[in-house]
Amino acid sequence: MYEVLCDLLTDISSLFPNESGFSVLTECNEVLLRLGEAVKNTFMNFKYAIQTNTSTTPFSGGGVHPLTKYVMNYIKALVDYSKTLNSLFGSQTSENQNLSSESTTMALHLQSITAALELNLEGRSKLYKDDSLQNIFMTNNICYMVQKVKDSELRKFIGDDWIRVHNRKFQQHALSYERASWGPVLSFLREERILSPNSSMPSRTVLKERFRGFNSAFEEVYRIQTAWSVPNSQLRDDLKISISLRVVQAYRTFMGRYAAYLDGARHRERYIKYCAEDVEKYLLDLFERSPKSLPYAHRW
């Protein structure tokens, strides 16, 4: 409506060229001013609505929150009105040298909205008791924000610097997830304190405890994280590859060094339940939003 009235002002002026039309033009300008204020207030109220949109319940599965989708689609649509919004908000300066002067004002306001969204998401992530799920949630949502900016006209306004910074952010959250989830699992495959006292041979008792501990920890992570959600297929594949490189290689190495020392042990299959290929295969089930439990996988 604001844009339509702006476009009509010239025609209205032509229709009422004399003093009799002055009051009409004055009224039109007053309406235009009020519409402009309404647009700015709507924009500011939207940011406030993001800041105050809180919850006491974590979002199931840690996927992309509906608020993230709504906000990013909303600001994506605003780009179509960038000329009008720049005019309404006036000129402002920015330190971002990658942005044109035409887009700077719009960019500052769009970035303030994405910052409000990010702060909201950080608050929501704290609702999860599991540190790993906190990081998966932030990885998913920041990745979604980045993709929305990269794949639309938002990129011209928000800029490549923002994309680089937020790429690093979601990658850091992904790394924090791996450490929190898989560090405890891999701790059972460490080399320390495996040898029997006063011997160069590994202790069977310690090896049994290590294999049993790995099995239990791996099965627990599998049971929980097959129910989690990573909607972005590329991100999901990247996470699985990264996890597999760490876990499968460590397990294969540990198996190669120590599995033979349990040959002939009673109930050996209770300790060495999985071969490396089993572990690699089961990791493919993660983040598919389909809860599963591991079968008794491998008999030796």
Q: Which domain holds residue 38?
A: 1-52
Task: Mark whether 162 and 91 lie in a shared domain.
Answer: yes
What residues are paired with 288 via a beta bridge? Answer: 229
Q: pLDDT tens digit string along 29-60?
A: 565 566 656 666 777 889 999 999 999 999 99
Of 121, 148, 176, which one is at a domain's C-terminal end? 176
How confident is the model over 128-148, as pLDDT tens digits? 999 999 999 999 999 999 999
Same-domain check for residues 207 and 139: no
Residue 63 sits in the same domain as residue 151 = yes
The alpha-helical segments, DSSP class H, found in 187-232 are 204-225
Number of domains observed in the structure of the chain:
3
Q: Is residue 166 part of a domain?
A: yes
In a domain, 298, yes or no: no
| Same domain as 147, residue 64 | yes
| Statement to judge: residues 163 and 261 lie in one domain | no
Residue 234: which of 172, 171, 181 has the closest Cα? 171
Q: What is the pLDDT of residues 236-293, one digit of tens each?
A: 999 999 999 999 999 999 999 999 999 877 888 889 999 999 999 999 999 999 999 8
Domain membership of residue 78 (yes or no) is yes
Residue given tokens 């040959």 in the structure block: 263
What's the confidence (pLDDT) of residue 42? 75
pLDDT in tens, 156-183: 999 999 999 999 999 999 999 999 999 9
**Which token pair is 162?**
């923002």
State phi, psi for 104 to the nearest 5 degrees. -60, -50
In a domain, 60, yes or no: yes
